Chains A and B, each alone.
Chain A
Amino acid sequence: MLSRRNFLTAAVGVAAATGLAACAKEDDGSSGSGSGGSKALVLGFSQVGSESGWRSANTDSVKAAAKEAGYTLKFSDAQQKQENQISAIRSYITQGVDVIAFSPVVVTGWDAVLKEAKAKKIPVVLTDRSVETSDESLYVTLVGSDFTEEGRRAGKILEKVIAKAGLKGQVKIAQLEGTTGAAPAIERAKGFKEVMDADHADDWKIVVSQTGDFTRAGGKQVMAAFLQSNPDVNVLFAHNDDMAIGAIQSIEAAGKKPGKDILIVSIDGVKDGFVAMSEGKINAIVECNPLLGPQLMEVVQKVKDGKPVERWIKTKEGDFMQDQAAAALPTRKY
């Protein structure tokens, strides 16, 4: 019994010591850097998690761009939990970093921690996703995509796709939505519907719409059911490439040709999406660019220097039709 107790004490002691050491190490890193302008700029960045290929590309881009710019990056992964993110931001505040950047896990609940940052005069930059706060001065700017605009672009590019394919008559659209309640899913659907209602109220119709949870397996299963209940669907609009890739497999299993019998437009622009497009299975892709690291670093420098920045800095994104796929494929990093 005694030996076990000793062992436990020792274990706890070791754990505590390691923890302390870790804290001390982090403190060392930041203590000097906040003081002088000659030292490297210190950026604290809290990422949502590593839930998708898009996200890992986003993380890599931020890390690479920080290195390129010569900034000291303090990176933490919140693993999809707001409490992790809040404690990471708090630790950046105590460390006295120059700028804090983060991709919020959820939309609300940030006021308290952002006020702490403001009290310490540390500017906050949001990346990729936005927050809802009572006080607009709590963050300086948002660097990220406009999901509603992506939906609109998808609608516009579908016009081109339909014209190119020479599709006549009623356009019957199946929509694969993202995760229910997620901002990209809601806003992409909204933007697409805006274009549809404004320009194609008569000839376009969304006949089925269901969530595929942004996954390949989800897209495949939902599309298989769609093809049973609405065999006359001739256009698929997927909120991301992965669902489109899954759906393509179901369309093929049903004996139809994706990209010909059913025209496909999707959003994101991941590598596998471009591969499918170069094979003629996806007709058009609206890019949602995760490589916002360089733009973020530019903004961080401006914010640090006290220069004015726009409230929402939109990421540079393109639209791709099938004939551009082969050329663009080698440039895809994610």
Chain B
Amino acid sequence: MTTTPRWRALTQHHLFWPVAVLVLLLLINVPFTPDFFAIKMTDGHLYGSLVSIVLFGSPLILVAVGMTLVIATGGIDLSVGAVVAITGALTCSYISDQSDQGALAGVFLAMGIGLVAAVVCGLWNGFLVARMGIQPIIATLIIMVAGRGVAQLITDGQIITINSEPYKLIGGGYWLTLPFSIFVVAAVVAVTVALTRRTALGLLVEAVGGNAEASRLVGIRSRRIKIMVYVFCALCAGIAGLMISSNTSAADGNNAGLWIELDAILAVVIGGTSLLGGRFSIGGTVVGALVIQTLTTTIYTIGVPTQTNLVFKAAVVIVVCLLQSPKFRAKVFGARFGAKGGGKPSATPTDTTPSTATAPKMEVS
């Protein structure tokens, strides 16, 4: 079989494999649900499987985008699930205390309180990692464990149900026939991409992740960058927390955002960002998060028996990770799908920004 250069360029693109898996997963649904791709209007909004996937996947996308930047600095943030729970708990308990739960001012204030709490968590993580030099996995473990307890304390161990139309919009409502959460996600992703790719910020993050000490010596304030990414990650988790609690109009301190940190890390990895830090791909992360959500939806629609859910999930994740590995591809498919330049396995396809990662580093120094 001949390979045209264009095909080759396509398979070498860092988003090719994640997108291929996403498309494949979506197609698997068709034999089980013939109108899987059908989208129809119901009660003045669009309704269909694809809409559900984006709607239910929105919180994960947000958390994963924040996680991407943390991982790009060589760190990790395990506390996002707890931050999700705290934000939701604070916001919902404030709204439930209002006499008029539908009042806009009260809802905005409640969301503000929740997000401030998220930022405080982020500052604490950043402080421990950047100032105290504690390893990220340990530093963020503190809030991961303690934070859920704080959330339970706020909700008193109960599920707080609220009845607030404006608050319902952010995670469960519709705007211009689309789920409102899609717009929130689009805005956060757009701002993140603009800040990291249109300014030097992304480069600085990658420099800190590549070698924190070297970047400090060339004049980058690596500590400040690190604190910033942890705060950003916590803020993303906070917005996700608002969405999750708004989606069900309830704050569940025990279960909201449970294990979302692991799904987020998985999404980042599927998206092609190296856990070693130094480079990242926001686009890849978004695709990775969609892969995970599609996988979850697929399990429900094709009727995988409950007991085999996790095995099915594990099998798909293993396949995705193997497909991501250039060495594996070179061995199985031959050099065609393998490493770049016809069989140099040293170059990784997770190389998201090869040109910017090397060239403009000069400018910074």
Binding site for B on A (CB under 8 A): 50-53, 55-56, 177, 180, 208-211, 213, 215-218, 220-222, 224-226, 228-229, 242, 245-246, 249, 253-255, 272, 275, 334
Contact = CB atoms under 8 A, between A and B. Distances in A.
Closest 6 CB pairs of A and B: A225-B300, A255-B42, A229-B301, A56-B157, A50-B157, A216-B248
A52 B253 CA distance: 9
Interface residues of B, number: 36
B255 A228 contact: no
Contacts of A254: 42, 47
A253 B177 CA distance: 12
Contacts of A52: 157, 159, 254
A286 to B, nearest CB: 19
Interface stretch (B94-102, B215-223, B303-311, B333-341): B303-311
A52 to B, nearest CB: 7
Interface string B275-308: 0000000000000000000001101111100110
Interface string B245-267: 00111101011100000000000
Given A53-B158, A216-B159, A249 B172 contact: yes
Interface in B161-194: 161, 172
Contacts of A220: 247-248
A334 B157 CA distance: 11
Nearest to B179: A253
A180 B307 contact: yes
A209 B306 contact: yes
B34 to A, nearest CB: 10
Contacts of A226: 300-301
A53 B155 CA distance: 10
Contact of B300 (A55, A222, A245): A222
Given A53-B157, A55-B157, A221-B56, A228 B301 contact: yes
Contacts of A211: 306, 309
Given A229-B300, A229-B302, A249-B172, 20 more contacts: A52-B157, A52-B254, A53-B157, A177-B306, A208-B303, A209-B306, A210-B306, A211-B309, A216-B250, A217-B255, A220-B248, A221-B300, A226-B300, A226-B301, A228-B48, A229-B32, A229-B33, A242-B159, A253-B43, A272-B159
A246 B33 CA distance: 22
A224 B158 CA distance: 25
Contacts, number: 90
Interface of B: 32-33, 36, 42-43, 47-49, 52, 56, 152, 156-159, 161, 172, 244, 247-250, 252, 254-256, 296-297, 299-303, 306-307, 309
Most buried by A among B42, B247, B254: B254
Contact of B244 (A217, A245, A255): A217
A177 to B, nearest CB: 6
Most buried by A among B48, B250, B307: B250
Nearest to B250: A216
Contacts of A222: 300
B309 A217 contact: no
Contacts of B249: 249
A318 B250 CA distance: 27
B248 A246 contact: yes
Contact of B301 (A50, A56, A217, A225): A225
22 contacts: A50-B157, A53-B157, A56-B157, A180-B307, A209-B306, A210-B300, A210-B303, A217-B248, A218-B255, A220-B247, A220-B248, A221-B297, A221-B300, A225-B300, A226-B301, A229-B33, A229-B300, A254-B42, A255-B47, A272-B161, A275-B161, A334-B158
A246 B250 CA distance: 10
B310 to A, nearest CB: 8
Contacts of B161: 272, 275
Contacts of B158: 53, 56, 334
B170 to A, nearest CB: 15
A11 to B, nearest CB: 17
A125 to B, nearest CB: 24
B303 A229 contact: yes
A163 B327 CA distance: 63
A51 to B, nearest CB: 5
B56 A224 contact: yes
A293 B329 CA distance: 62
Contacts of A217: 244, 247-248, 252, 255-256
Contacts of A51: 254
A183 B306 CA distance: 15
A215 B252 contact: yes
Contacts of B302: 229
Contacts of B252: 215-217
Nearest to A209: B306
Given A208-B303, A249-B172, A225 B52 contact: yes
A79 to B, nearest CB: 9
Contacts of A249: 172, 247-249
A221 B296 contact: yes
A217 B172 CA distance: 11
Contacts of B48: 228
B239 to A, nearest CB: 16
Nearest to A179: B306
A218 B300 CA distance: 11
B306 to A, nearest CB: 5
A180 B254 CA distance: 17
A228 to B, nearest CB: 5
Nearest to B35: A228
Contacts of A56: 156-158
Contacts of A218: 255
Nearest to B42: A255
B263 to A, nearest CB: 13
Given A226-B300, A228-B301, A50 B42 contact: no
Nearest to A57: B158
A213 B300 CA distance: 13
A218 B47 CA distance: 19
A132 to B, nearest CB: 20
A56 B36 CA distance: 41
B2 to A, nearest CB: 41
Given A253-B47, A254-B42, A228 B250 contact: no
